[in-house]
Structure 1
């Protein structure tokens, strides 16, 4: 939503679309739409979690052994990085409500840096697995684990973490767009912060999904 002209000191005011009765209704519709979208994302990952649960029940020894082969240090560091990035995303919403656009840009920039760090660390993890031959399905040739079901574990691992990394990349694009708006247009304020709020909500979903993936893949 672009800001329209506003009286001095009143703060940026978003343009009201013609099919909404008021800004309050428009903002409520935007939030409702985001919640509906996030619910579909939850259903997407719920399918993967259900798949994980079924195959873990069928191959408990292989899943336990393969889980111990993952790099717990890298997984833990990535968890800390992502949780911290959620904090900076939340602070961006706080500063947007106060009209502090420079701080909004700073918080989102920090979030983007941590998101990039998360992907780099995940890239190192992937490279180690590829080098060892711990690959999905028929490409599996990891000599250290030959238990039946191990290829299925790595299929679930690459599918779940890869899909999550894809969502991280999309989230980075959204936050980058909001950062550019905060720097160039400086149009976020107490009357116009919903875009920042929605972008932060999406990022919290990315964080939440990883909070489930980390213990399932690395700890259990």
Structure 2
């Protein structure tokens, strides 16, 4: 069954799917969990590299963390990404009852807030580079830029994924494959928010202390 259409309705709630359909979605979700674990290892390595390079000997006479991080500005990024996760979570709540408009509205809000996060991050990078603070100045700055940019690239990928899913929901409704992708994207989006909280605490708050 490719597309699930509830008799007399437009989009079925999740309970409309059969047992086999639930098993297939669960299997795909488990596979995505394995990918997420590998992604977590990548970020763990990046955090470890940053911790090692965040030492005076690795700054080559350049700026320290306290001179480049701005916790207040980064707080607005934190609010944007956390609110985006909340909006997407509400979209998946609407998915349980087959509320297509609710799903799309939640995804649109999540998408806009995700774009705001990326815009704030790019603005921060632009300001640093305008001051001559670039990754090639020191090992510390290389670790700083790579860690934050890696997270930003994950966010961009998530936004592209979300945009494609919005189009698919509009065109095809909630097929088994689309429901699986929606649930996996929720997991991916929540993971990126968790990583950003670690970035905010470990880099911005710790650096400014």
Under a length normalisation based on structure 2, what TM-score does the superposition of the two structures give? Answer: 0.85
Q: Deviations over 1:59-93 (max 9, x none)?
A: 59989932342222221100111011110111111
Equivalent-residue separation in structure 1 for 2:175 and 2:101 (angstroms):
10
Equivalent-residue separation in structure 2 for 1:64 and 1:128 (angstroms):
14
Equivalent-residue separation in structure 2 for 1:40 and 1:67 (angstroms):
31
Equivalent-residue separation in structure 2 for 1:60 and 1:115 (angstroms):
33
Which of 1 and 2 has greater Rg? 1
Q: Deviations over 1:8-36 (max 9, x none)?
A: 459278999xxxx9223212101101111
Cα distance change, pair 5–69 in 1 and its aligned pair in 2 (3 A):
closer
Question: Is 1:90 the counterpart of 2:89 in the alignment?
Answer: yes
The residue aligned with 1:39 is 37
The residue aligned with 1:172 is 159
Cα distance change, pair 94–59 in 1 and its aligned pair in 2 (3 A):
farther
Which of 24, 34, 56 aligns to 2:22? It is 24
Q: Structure 2: 5+ residue runs without aligned partners?
A: none
Where 2:64 maps in the other structure, the secondary structure is helix
Runs of 4+ in 1 over 6 A off after TM superposition: 12-16, 60-64
Contact 1:92 1:103 in 2 (8 A): yes
Which of 143, 146, 168 aligns to 1:156? It is 143
CA drift of 1:168 comes to: 0.5
Cα distance change, pair 96–160 in 1 and its aligned pair in 2 (3 A):
same
Cα distance change, pair 199–72 in 1 and its aligned pair in 2 (3 A):
same
Equivalent-residue separation in structure 2 for 1:126 and 1:39 (angstroms):
28
Cα distance change, pair 59–82 in 1 and its aligned pair in 2 (3 A):
farther
The residue aligned with 1:146 is none
Matches within 5 A, 1:62-81: 65-81=64-80
The residue aligned with 1:51 is 49
Under a length normalisation based on structure 1, what TM-score does the superposition of the two structures give? Answer: 0.81
Q: Structure 1: 5+ residue runs without aligned partners?
A: 141-150
Where 1:193 maps in the other structure, the secondary structure is helix
Cα distance change, pair 171–160 in 1 and its aligned pair in 2 (3 A):
same
Contact 1:105 1:179 in 2 (8 A): yes
The residue aligned with 1:122 is 121
Q: How many corresponding residue pairs?
A: 202
Q: Deviations over 1:168-211 (max 9, x none)?
A: 1110011112212233333269xx73332111111111111111
Contact 2:87 2:110 in 1 (8 A): yes
